[in-house]
Chain A
Amino acid sequence: MKTIYILWIRQLKRYYRSKPRIIGSLGQPVLFLVALGFGFGPIYQKAGGGDYIQFLAPGIICMSILFTSVFSGIEIIWDRQFGFLKETLVAPVSRFHIMIGRTLGGASVATLQGVIVFSISLLAGFKPYLIALPLALFIMVLIAVIFTALGTAIASLMEDMHGFQLIMNFLIMPLFFLSGALFPLDGLPRAIEIASRANPLSYGVDGLRFALINVCHFSLAFDLTFMLLAALIFLGLGSYLFSRIQI
């Protein structure tokens, strides 16, 4: 338990101390929110979709959680290169605890990031229902855990940062674009619909939209079930691959 706690607090400290990183990682969601929100807003309205910012904001919150959590998981590669990973691997603690501590730490950081983007979206004109805020927070945590564990799993397989572009372009970007974060999932071509249905982030976006603006494509129960399952699978996969890391 103490192992998990100390590694969790380590992630938070590292996050808090790297101010440039916090500001830098806020740039993208803000840009998306402003450029897309105000850019597509009029067309979306004309098409009868209503206020685009309302629709977009939950998606952008999910995007920032997705990016931050995958990168938090991938931080293992830095720890490997800067050597700190070895310090934890020769310690008399189980690798499972190490992995859980790191993942919870990364997920907390990503959730925090999501909350910050949420606050910014309020400034951009987002008007959510505040009743289900605890539910929204819970969904944000779930998304964060799923993708931090995924990042951990990927990082356990990678030697260095060379594969980074690959992951960015062939995993994270598709996850984001095919999640319904930017557009509704109704009436899509078959292939894209299948892809978005297999994407755990779709259910995160959907669940968060339900909690914040009371709009839902699937159903809340289905969203939550799918995400809990995904969280379990990725945590299992991540801890398995992490336990096999050789220095």
Chain B
Amino acid sequence: MTASVLYIGICNMSAIIVVDDLVKSFKEIKAVDHISFSVNKGEIFGFLGPNGAGKSTTIKMLTTLLVPDRGKILMNGFDPLTEPDKVRQTFGIVFQDPSIDEELTAWENMELHGVLYHIPKKVRRRRIEQLLKIVELWDRRNDPAKRFSSGMKRRLEISRGLLHHPAILFLDEPTLGLDPQTRNLIWGHIKQLNQTERVTVFFTTHYMEEAERVAGRIAIIDHGRIIALGAPGELKAATNASSLEDAFINFTGRNIRAEEVSNLDQLRRRVRLFRR
């Protein structure tokens, strides 16, 4: 069955991310346990799951930061194991934690990124201006990033992630810790960029109502396995739930924001801490 997923992924020209039978263990804990899925070109794809479910581990494997134990990944046709630099050129990423240099200005952060991604100077300048204007940071381009609010920093990171015209944009909890107004603004930008840049968006989030509103399709991952995949409407219909939040509880047996973590989760987290 897994082989057929890959086959479909390769034959289906609209798939931009193909994941087949992916496995990653830390010590005896299986962080990612035989998952397979594919993401279509131009789609906004939500990747949801409780803490320690394997979301970040999956993203790290897709983005060349971690080597899978087994399984196959194709990113825009490239294999992260054999052609890491081609894969890196193909995606932009906004990490869960900030990753800008706060001592540098917004412009300098963009410029550095542009050089690292080999964008010619002229194109770089034009593109930086265009993107900073879209995320409404153009007027503040010469301010050091440390003077920005968390929402502004996040906007800067999103625009930076798009600088090199990636085919895929990864957003790991892009709205975590932001106030509702800023969250709306950020999603507005993401949707707009998804349209204008025709970039495929792959995101994770804790906010169910946001996922429901923006995602074309959603995969729910728990204990390293994908337990549901489909459009928000389909997931709700499958569990007779009125909201995605309820559907999620029906699938996983718990709330996504459950503060009490199980012993296994704690162990996972400890293992992960140890790994870092």
Residues of chain A having any CB pair with chain B under 8 Å: 2-3, 5-7, 10, 13-14, 17-18, 82-93, 159, 246-247
Contacts and interface: CB of A to CB of B under 8 A. Distances in A.
Q: Which 7 A-B pairs have the closest CB atoms?
A: A83-B99, A91-B116, A92-B88, A92-B85, A6-B115, A87-B99, A92-B89
A87 B103 contact: no
Given A82-B98, A84-B101, A92-B88, A247 B60 contact: yes
Contact of B104 (A10, A83, A86, A91): A10
Contact of A13 (B108, B115, B116): B108
Given A90-B65, A90-B93, A83 B108 contact: no
Interface string B108-126: 1001110111100000000
B88 A91 contact: yes
A83 B99 CA distance: 4
Contact of B99 (A2, A6, A7, A84): A84
Given A83-B99, A90-B88, A246 B116 contact: no
Contacts of B95: 83, 86
B120 to A, nearest CB: 11
Contacts of B112: 6-7, 10
Nearest to B115: A6
B264 interface: no
B89 A90 contact: no
Interface of B: 60, 63-66, 84-86, 88-89, 93, 95, 97-104, 108, 111-113, 115-118, 144, 275-276
B72 to A, nearest CB: 20
A246 B60 CA distance: 10
A46 B99 CA distance: 58
23 contacts: A2-B115, A10-B101, A10-B112, A13-B103, A13-B104, A14-B103, A82-B99, A82-B101, A83-B97, A83-B99, A83-B100, A86-B65, A87-B99, A87-B100, A87-B113, A87-B116, A90-B93, A91-B88, A92-B88, A92-B117, A93-B116, A246-B65, A246-B66
Contacts of B118: 2, 92
B116 A3 contact: yes
Nearest to B111: A6
Nearest to A86: B99
B103 A83 contact: no
